[in-house]
Amino acid sequence: MTKIRSTTVLAVKHNGHVAIGADGQATMNNYVAKANVRKLRRLQEGKVVTGFAGSTADAFTLLDRFDEKLNAYGGNLKRGAIELAKDWRMDRYLRRLEAMMIAVNSNEILILSGTGDVLEPENDVAAIGSGAMYAQSAALALKKHAPHLSAEEIVRESLNIAADICIYTNHNIIIEKF
């Protein structure tokens, strides 16, 4: 998979609820360009939330195409994601786009990449971006050792831990939940 730096996006399904969050930092080369970027987008009248890592322009292109696929397949998250991944991999223009996405609804979490991957994460935790492994590790530990926490609380705490460690991740966190 493509390694995308400069952000952290995390989704967690826990105790029947799904939450997705992202930090707000945008970097250009080795400096912070903006600290309050919104990396989460609601699609399908709020029934699907996506989080992206990578080039913003590329991500918006993919979000538009993903919304079209969701519309074409009646809002079916998995089918729309698979169709987007096929186009993303095969289309001469799209395959040059440098971004990754996490897409969630009230029941599913999917990771999408330009290599044609549509992954359902193990343990109901998905992370992308430069701080992904820090956030994912924290979320897995919290799910196991603090099961009383909500999905939203696990996402918030895990992203804060990632922000403490990863220089491309900040504490300006936005979370959407189902």
Q: Is residue 55 part of a domain?
A: yes
- Full domain range(s) for residue 44: 8-177
Six-digit token string for 4: 């995308």
Q: Is residue 127 part of a domain?
A: yes
pLDDT of residue 61: 84
H-type helices in the chain, by residue range?
A: 56-72, 77-90, 132-145, 151-165
pLDDT of residue 93: 65
Q: Is residue 3 part of a domain?
A: no
Does this model's pTM top 0.95?
Answer: no
Which among 7, 27, 50, 169 is annotated as catalytic?
7
What residues does 11 pair with on adjacent strands?
A: 20, 126
Q: Is residue 169 part of a domain?
A: yes
d(CA 131, CA 169): 6
Query: What's the CATH code of the domain at 46?
Result: 3.60.20.10
13-70 pLDDT, tens digit each: 999 999 999 999 988 777 888 899 899 999 999 999 999 988 777 778 889 999 999 9
Six-digit token string for 41: 């987008």
Clarify whether 7 is annotated catalytic: yes
Q: Is residue 2 part of a domain?
A: no
Q: Is residue 124 part of a domain?
A: yes
Q: Is residue 135 part of a domain?
A: yes
Split at pLDDT 50, 70, 90, the class of 95 is: low
Q: Is residue 110 part of a domain?
A: yes
**Total number of domains in the chain:** 1
